[in-house]
Amino acid sequence: MFRSIFAVVLGYAALAAGPNLLPFLGLSPDPATPLTSEPVLLALAVGFAAAVVGGWMTALIAPSRRWKHIQVVVLLVLLAAAVKLLWARGGMPLSYEIAALATSVVGAFVGGSLKPGRRL
């Protein structure tokens, strides 16, 4: 039980760390820029990479039931995105928020599909 909780919490933390580090690195996209601008695409790429790492870490810690654990991580991502969209959008266009959500969900499943013993 503890291992399952640890796998989900660590996977979600890794997934959430990527986009949350962008402002500290000075790479946060400006809400006024179009969705195809370089900072926005970089933010989406970092979010995807963090989601892959989060899914991979979840599968590494809980390899016997990895898909159930990754589904819980994705459910947490969907809940956090719903809260963010409803109450704290932060000025970004809706299209960016949807793209960030999609890349996070796909990235988590891609990371979870990697063999748990394989390095990235």
Q: Over the stretch 56-78, which tens digit does the pLDDT of each residue have?
A: 999 899 888 888 999 999 999 88
Nearest alpha carbon to residue 51 among 16, 80, 22: 16
In a domain, 120, yes or no: no
Q: What global pTM score does this model have?
A: 0.83
Question: What is the domain extent for residue 40?
Answer: 2-113
The string of pLDDT tens digits covering residues 28-38 is 766 666 666 77
Tally of structural domains, the chain: 1
Helix, strand, coil proportions of the chain in percent (round to 5)?
75, 0, 25
pLDDT at 48 over 90: yes
Contact 46, 58 (CB under 8 A): no
Contact present, 31 and 47 (Cβ < 8 Å): no
- The answer to whether residue 31 sits within a structural domain is yes
